[in-house]
Chains A and B, each alone.
Chain A
Amino acid sequence: MATRKIKYINIDADKCSGCRLCESICSASHADPPYSLVNPGRSRIRVFRDEDNDVYIPVLAGPYTDVECLGRNTVMVKGKEYGECSFCRASCPSRDLFREPETDIPLKCDTCESINSEPLCVKWCLSKCLTFEEVEEEVEEETPAAA
């Protein structure tokens, strides 16, 4: 069996302070030239927040989809109901989240691989809400398809 490294950004939402520094550093580090701007709209991580209910949840940009979900459900947190979109990671036509402003190009977290760095949102998260972990996972070896 072969192994490969899987990168995890783990989120302990109870520790999130809602400062959104992760959004700033993400958008800055992925800018061209690097750090030339800050714009959470370009960030691949967004913090969902509801101050009245003390809910702060960082959401990392996930897969792109070109269609909206058909079914919808709701999520109950601390006795308050939220739409599932609130915590959804997808770059999706139903909302602006995780798409570049102006160009509309979908955004997805690359754990900072594209900028050759450890994940900067983790590094700059001083509340230790975000942590980074690399795990060796076994993968099945690919067998050449029968001719």
Chain B
Amino acid sequence: MPIGDTIEIDLSRGIIEKREGDLALVRDYVASKGTGTRILWDRVPPEVDAFAPESTFIMSAGVLTGTLVPGANRLCIVYKSPATNIHCYSSVGGFLGTALKRTGYDTVIVSGKSDTPVYLYINDDRVELRDARHLWGHDTRQTESLIRKELGDQAEVLSIGLAGENKVLFATAEHGAGDCAGRGGFGALMGDKNLKAIAIHGTKDIPVADTERLFDICNYILSRTHGARKGILDPAGYTFVRTFLRWADFRNFGGIVQSPEFQEEIKNSGPLTQAFIERTREREVACANCSLRCKHAYRNTDGTYVYHKCAGFYYAMFTSQILKPEFSLACKTLFERYGLDIYSTGDSVAFAIDLYEKGILTREDTDGLHLEWQNPDVYLALVHKIARREGIGDVLANGTYRAARQIGKGAERYAFTAKKLELHMNKIYHRYHMALSSAVCDRGDMTKLDSGTAGQMPRRPLSEREAYIKDGWFHYPDSYKKYFLEEGADAYGNSSIEAQASYNSYDMEQYTLADLSGICMFWLEFWMWPTINSRAMMADLMTAVTGLEIDEAEATRIASRVISLVRAYSVREGLRRQDDFDSVPKHTFEREPRPPERKLEPDTLDQLLDKFYEIRGWDRQGIPTAANLEELDLGFVREDMERRGILEGKS
């Protein structure tokens, strides 16, 4: 199999080293999140702070990225998150991954800190660090267009804005039409390294081992895209509006109940938002080789365009209580240009307004700004302050977890985080599926573990479930059919503990394989209609492209290896069962949801965790056992963890 090379860049010394790719690494970890985590394990141990010069990030495209496989365009960036202090990875769509593959490099390792602002340019074999002093202070869109003026229109750019430069802990790195490395503060890491942008342009071929096999599978996959399109769009944006409005009963996305008046307002705003989307959406835009077209182009009042998708549309609206889609677009534009994570920023602003309302923050703390809901000026002023780290913004820029502890006076009660990362929307955490997904998801953002099948299908009538299997949408192994068909869901819509833990564990492997292969999760079980609907198909795709014989069992083994390695990394950083448990907001155990559902019992979450850990081969603390590590060829992890006293050594 042809393996791409590796480039290693030391920003402190300005040294660029190239070396050949490592076949053993590819066999064991494939690419992307896998190889990235393996390298991170050695380079960034707990002794190295996320902002230390030695802190390293690894950028690697999925193994299928850039081939004909539909939706295979992701590039994974693996790093220690300055926000969560554990393992973190950002999967970037757009054209960055395909561009990197075409340079002939598979992996880019970046460490050190530059004295002056620079940007990295990878142009086939030519790799250089270029002066970025003239770009510093520019927003992400300007930076991208200035770099393209320098390098040509074909260059793909990932850049940070002011938020990244100022090390806002939820800063993003933005790319192209609304793509970004969003959660976990990768932008802050780039800013800390004085790395303003990464530009890539490649002209080489992306070879494939077994062409016929690949072509056949691709044609089959393409013939089944309708389901996922339905999830995204059909009927034009409505599902969308209805679903998100159901989540909007709470503000802060952690569980403060919105006033009844506002809830009423939300209900009425649905049709208005829908009409707005239908009227003003000018284009559906896609990432490389993807026909799902989930990003929608809207025209700003100043004539520029902004790309919005999915839940992001509602975040600014719900966190500000301004139910105007125009306001949402203005916010998204601002977030994108500053390079701010839409979820964490929205949460932080709402958190500040909440504290002000409770009297924990006063006018003195806010430089005389009177914080209130439904005031666009206040909301935007706070966003500006956060991105520029001015006044109260300097505190909020550390994320709600840290800000709450800096402010004190009981502010902690109003900060809702999972592993120090602001919670993602108000998912319905009292449901087993959401609770467990949030608890065990490896970076504190449960989106990467959400499954339309496990989350929504078991509660449907039996006939629908049978048809679902018959139509080929059921992606779990046959042995799971007993959970799905015989058990279904209880009166509250929950699967049994064992079924839920099994679903989640299997989905974690699927998502990991998606990351390794570079396929966007929208092609998998994220929607209720997984276009790529079996592990065997995933293994087939990998085999056809790489030429390595990867069957279903081997794919499972590789995924399990990466999952345990990622877990071990975070465990080495101090993550334990309690952190998983606390990733479900406390109010979930205290408040009755709307009938007919019921609140979650702490004991149930404990049982879910026990079962999940057991399936994964981890102990009660969520630590991979020595046997689990040995079985997955992770002996070096076991040794390191024994040396540190995390695992008991063999006597």
Contacts and interface: CB of A to CB of B under 8 A. Distances in A.
Interface in A114-147: 124, 126-127
A51 B148 CA distance: 12
Contacts of B211: 33-36
A108 B211 CA distance: 24
A53 interface: yes
Interface string A13-49: 0101111110011001001011111111110000000
Nearest to A27: B205
A17 B208 contact: no
Contact of B286 (A19, A37, A39, A124): A19
A78 B283 CA distance: 14
A124 B222 contact: yes
Contacts of A31: 205
A52 interface: yes
A76 B285 CA distance: 22
A53 B286 contact: no
A18 B141 contact: no
B303 interface: yes
A35 B212 contact: yes
A127 B291 contact: yes
Nearest to A51: B177
**Interface class of chain B by DSSP:** loop
B289 interface: yes
Given A20-B95, A38-B66, A38-B205, A14 B293 contact: no
A104 interface: no
B176 A51 contact: yes
B293 A127 contact: yes
Q: How large is the interface on A (under 10, 10 to 19, 20 to 34, 35 or more residues)?
A: 20 to 34
Contacts of A36: 207-208, 211
A17 B211 CA distance: 26
Q: How large is the interface on B (under 10, 10 to 19, 20 to 34, 35 or more residues)?
A: 35 or more
Given A17-B293, A21-B289, A51-B177, A39 B303 contact: no
A87 B67 CA distance: 26
Given A38-B206, A127-B293, A24 B177 contact: no
A21 B73 CA distance: 11
Interface string B291-306: 1010001010001110
A63 interface: no
A124 B290 CA distance: 10
Contacts of B291: 17, 19, 21, 126-127
B636 interface: no
Contact of B208 (A19, A37, A42, A54): A37
B3 to A, nearest CB: 15
A17 B284 contact: yes
Interface string B199-217: 0000111111001101100
5 contacts: A19-B293, A25-B68, A35-B212, A39-B102, A39-B205
Interface of B: 66-68, 70, 95, 102, 141, 145, 176-177, 203-208, 211-212, 214-215, 222, 225, 282-291, 293, 297, 299, 303-305, 307
Given A18-B286, A21-B290, A39-B205, 16 more contacts: A17-B284, A17-B286, A19-B286, A19-B287, A19-B289, A19-B290, A31-B205, A35-B208, A38-B67, A39-B102, A52-B304, A53-B305, A56-B285, A124-B222, A126-B291, A127-B284
Interface of A: 14, 16-21, 24-25, 28, 31, 33-42, 51-54, 56, 78-79, 101, 124, 126-127
